[in-house]
Chain A
């Protein structure tokens, strides 16, 4: 009896530190995110000091009319857009890595990018620029294209009511490549002295759009639904990590979990693509970095992933729009330039490869 008591006590510090580590990390990430948003809002052609902004936000202080317009119609919407895109891509990456039981999966792994490219090309080259709820043709068609290609992939990979993961990956790769290359034929229709090409190129490299507040509200709602749906899925992904058969024996409905992950991951990715084009590496490295700190438990990773993804892209987009001002870099170029080497470093550092 006495032995049991000491053992119970011995277990306490272990659980305590792990929970504590997560809480501290979440607190630090949240604080950094707020700070990053404030600093980012101050940066640009018209400088607005951070302290002025902070005072304005808590109700005091005042900004000039120009500063107000710049902040509330230009900078803050853009910053919130990058925040949403970063969070959406990272969570989607985490979900797909869990689903495929492979830390190398990313949000585009089952073909959303190909559909998005084709959709965006149709928008750029074929259709007049109309807008629905503030979203332009390119963004809307990219969204539809991403969802459409995933549906196609899922339908192709489905055999006898089951969708084997390998079939999903292969179909995803094939469909995505086919669709993105077929957009080449549309470029022939570009009679606009290459303007369309430039628009498409910047979209392909990932550029955060300048959204309106209603647009942000719509995307925020989609992401809120996506995140809420991810919460129960995170625990299922832990079970699924043991393998399909094991998970089945434990009473997990593998097929339902798989569909839920694909639906939610696709909505998150498509929303991100609509706002920011194709941004690489974020969805791959953010969950990966956090796994090194917090371990592989998806329940613990989920909130931290959303926060770090948001923080990462807010910082990256601020650098992208200020580094070579008045010109602008596509943020995707930046994430690839930072993300690529960092990812390779991780690959080399973890001895058993990315698997551990």
Chain B
């Protein structure tokens, strides 16, 4: 099986603060990866490197065996969709006009949207259950609706890989489970997913693997069962031992509550 995205000895730093060193990792088709780690560990940086909008300081990132740096962003955007954390739209675009922007990498300079473009938009909105929101103003949506519309924009790009930056942020627990269902659905549609996640309790059962990032340590990859273990997380997140039981208790509580 050939990888969609391959990091080969990738390093990245902001100024003299090292974020990534010697990262070797691959994303394969049908994989659903949760990127976890403390604040500032470089989760978003990793996603941007995979999307080609950040260039690695050293090493290479490959998209289907082609060097990302040699590809035009327009080309990359036809296979990889990045869904950012926060979006500020200064004008009152409707959901439909917002999702339409996902067709940007396919449009010619002159000429409008083709029936195929509308079809892709409709499919994206149906998958994310936002079709009924299409005439609403994006800025007036609730946090959960907004998150789904952002993912619809990404799906309108008809990507093979979807990069989600903190998809659970600002969502209440009900909306979080909706989002998990959506990720499950997209996975079954054959779209590979890499999502940065803060809520560790939501990972197991949906994500096939976990990448644990922590400052100044190499990235750790494995199945959720291998990585999401107290003794590993304790070191990575630097939580003091006496905090741990309470944290785990709370996690267990929430799980039971939700079920």
Taking Cβ atoms with an 8 Å cutoff, the residues of A that contact B are 7-8, 11, 14, 101-103, 231-232, 235, 238-239, 241-243, 245-253, 291, 295-297, 299, 355-356
Contacts and interface: CB of A to CB of B under 8 A. Distances in A.
A251 B88 contact: no
Nearest to B97: A297
Dominant SS among interface residues on chain A: helix
B91 A103 contact: yes
A151 B219 CA distance: 47
Nearest first, the 9 closest Cβ-Cβ pairs linking A and B are A296-B91, A251-B74, A251-B77, A251-B105, A250-B104, A249-B82, A101-B90, A251-B73, A232-B109
B93 A355 contact: no
B94 interface: yes
B75 interface: yes
B90 A250 contact: no
A14 B135 contact: yes
Contacts of A297: 93, 97
Interface in B88-124: 88-94, 97-98, 100-102, 104-105, 107, 109-110, 112, 122
Given A14-B134, A245-B84, A250-B77, A235 B91 contact: no
Contacts of B112: 299
B53 A250 contact: no
Interface in B106-160: 107, 109-110, 112, 122, 126, 131, 134-135, 137, 139, 157
B105 A295 contact: no
B90 A102 contact: yes
A241 B93 contact: yes
Contacts of A7: 126, 131
Instruction: Bin chain B's interface residue count.
Output: 35 or more
B89 A242 contact: yes
Given A101-B91, A251-B104, 18 more contacts: A7-B126, A11-B122, A14-B134, A102-B90, A103-B91, A232-B109, A238-B93, A239-B101, A241-B93, A242-B101, A243-B88, A245-B84, A249-B51, A251-B72, A251-B76, A295-B94, A296-B91, A297-B93
A250 B101 contact: yes
Contact of B87 (A102, A243, A291): A243
Given A246-B87, A295-B92, A238 B97 contact: yes
B179 to A, nearest CB: 20
Contacts of B93: 238, 241, 295-297
A55 B214 CA distance: 81
A90 to B, nearest CB: 17
8 contacts: A101-B90, A241-B89, A245-B53, A249-B82, A250-B105, A251-B75, A295-B93, A299-B112
A297 to B, nearest CB: 6
Contacts of A241: 89-91, 93
Given A103-B90, A232-B110, A251-B74, A11 B134 contact: yes
